[in-house]
Amino acid sequence: MYIDVMCSCCGNHKKLSNKRIQDTADLIHSGWGSCGSALYCPECSKSWKERNGNRQMADERNTFILIMNLFFDAKKAEEGE
């Protein structure tokens, strides 16, 4: 199964497979970040402070959980739940 991980700021997206957890970790290490339930591409993550001042981005754990939840939601939709 593949999902599109989309940036909440600019709409940039990356296709991601659920075959390996390492693929998700690699995506996060490439610069994808999050705040709350919103995901941000590397470019928007870099400019986060300019747009949001002192508000901090979430940690890598939050970003990982958000992406995994996208896979769970896609699987539910695929199964018709």
User: What is the domain partition of the chain in residue ranges?
Assistant: 2-79
What's the mean per-residue pLDDT of the chain?
93
Render pLDDT for 25-43 as a digit per residue (tens, 0 to 9): 999 999 999 999 999 999 9
Crossing angle of the two packed helices 21-29 and 60-79, in degrees rounded to 10: 140
Render pLDDT for 65-81 as a digit per residue (tens, 0 to 9): 999 999 999 999 988 86
Span 9-23, average pLDDT: 92
